[in-house]
């Protein structure tokens, strides 16, 4: 006869070993279909570089992104954003009038990112000082001022993650081939937490010029891990579509990436052929990745130069 206490322990153990472990499982993103054009600017500029995608109150998808007429090596001509809209991610967007032409903020406009809190959309953009705009419909924007005062002349490529209700993290490209992470409790006031990621040789960093190769950070949580994608490029043609993905259980620390070389502490996952990538999940749970970039630079296979392309992805069981 099995004693009650032993019976309880056996039942507990059998339940424990049968519990799903998906939260602890490691994943890797993989392309699940071909790329197609989501947005091709015709009036506002010749290309779409770093960008953001979000849905408005009616469910339409908006794209806001860097553009200018012709190639702008210095970004001095990139002083407004291209804007597109579509009811679905499966069809090409209609071009709207550019955003932020002639606003109180006339500085360069790089790498917008939009996050929604309650009924308000918050848009952050650099470079240099990170500026803050708000909107209730995704069309009409108010300039709120500087969210982060200029830590570095090329401080850029912000991405905001809601870590928990009322607690946000902002990742940004900082000097020295690093990503910095900031915290906020209201999306208006930000405090620096520290370095979230660093790249060192033999990863394709600049090294000799203070541009910083750790571009376009984007963080999503899948299961029990946070996945950081970062475009590691020194603007050589071989590294332009080089989006590296690493993972961590700590969203404040993704370690150091060295392309498998000495000093690497980051948990490398995979590399995807994309530039300035964003990861998007729609309301049906489908995942997508985007890719943009300068018109005369390499693109993923099948992508028309100068366009913003999108492709489905799936999260596969990973190493």
Residue range 81-136, pLDDT digits in tens: 999 999 999 999 999 999 999 878 889 999 999 999 999 999 999 999 999 999 99
Residue range 157-192, pLDDT digits in tens: 999 999 999 999 999 999 999 999 999 999 999 999
The per-residue pLDDT for 3 is 44
Domains assigned to the chain: 22-317 (2.115.10.20)
Q: Please state the three-class secondary structure of the chain as a single string.
A: CCCHHHHHHHHHHHHHHHCCCHHHCCEEEEECCCCEEEECCCCCCCCECCEEEEECCCCCEEEEEECCCCCCCCCCCCCCEEEEEECCCCCCCEEEEEECCCCCCCCCCEEEEEEEECCEEEEEEECCCEEEEEECCCCCCEEEEEEECCCCCCCEEEEEEEEECCEEEEEEEECCCEEEEEEECCCCCCEEEEEEEEECCCCCCCCCCCCCCEEEEEEEEECCEEEEEEEECCCCCCCCCCEEEEEECCCCCCCEECCCCCCCCCEEEEEECCCCCCEEECCCCCEEEEECECCCCCCCCCCCCCCEEEEEEEEEECC
Q: Is the pTM of this model over 0.85?
A: yes
The per-residue pLDDT for 2 is 42
The per-residue pLDDT for 22 is 56
The per-residue pLDDT for 12 is 32
Residues 6+ apart with CB under 8 A from 101: 79, 80
The per-residue pLDDT for 207 is 67
Give pLDDT < 70 ranges for the chain.
1-23, 207-208
Distance CA 50, CA 61 (A): 16
């Amino acid at each position: 006869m099995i004693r009650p206490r032993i019976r309880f322990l056996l039942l507990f153990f059998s339940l424990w070993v049968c519990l799903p472990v998906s939260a602890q499982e490691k994943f890797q993103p993989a392309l699940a279909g071909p790329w197609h054009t989501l947005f091709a600017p015709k009036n506002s500029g010749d290309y779409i570089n770093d960008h953001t995608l979000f849905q408005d109150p009616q469910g339409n998808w908006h794209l806001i992104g860097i553009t200018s007429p012709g190639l702008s090596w210095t970004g001095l001509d990139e002083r407004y954003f291209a804007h597109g809209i579509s009811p679905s991610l499966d069809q090409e967007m209609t071009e709207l009038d550019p955003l932020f032409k002639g606003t109180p903020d006339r500085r360069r406009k790089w790498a917008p990112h939009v996050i929604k809190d309650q009924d308000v959309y918050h848009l952050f953009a650099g470079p240099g000082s990170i500026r803050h705009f708000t909107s209730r419909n995704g069309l009409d924007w108010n300039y709120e001022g500087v969210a982060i005062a200029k830590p570095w002349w090329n401080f850029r490529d912000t991405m905001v993650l809601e870590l928990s209700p009322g607690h946000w993290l902002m990742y940004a490209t900082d000097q020295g081939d690093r990503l910095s992470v900031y915290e906020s409790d209201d999306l208006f006031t930000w405090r620096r937490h520290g370095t979230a990621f660093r790249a060192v040789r033999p990863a394709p960093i600049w090294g000799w010029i203070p541009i910083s190769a750790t571009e376009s950070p984007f963080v999503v949580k899948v299961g029990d891990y946070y996945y950081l994608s970062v475009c590691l490029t020194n603007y050589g043609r071989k590294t332009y579509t080089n989006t590296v993905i690493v993972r961590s259980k700590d969203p404040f620390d993704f370690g150091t990436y060295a392309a498998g070389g000495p000093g690497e502490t980051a948990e490398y996952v995979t590399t995807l052929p994309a530039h300035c990538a964003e990861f998007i999940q729609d309301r049906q749970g489908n995942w997508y990745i985007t890719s943009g970039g300068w018109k005369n630079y390499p693109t993923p296979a099948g992508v028309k130069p100068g366009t913003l392309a999108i492709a489905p992805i799936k999260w596969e069981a990973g190493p």
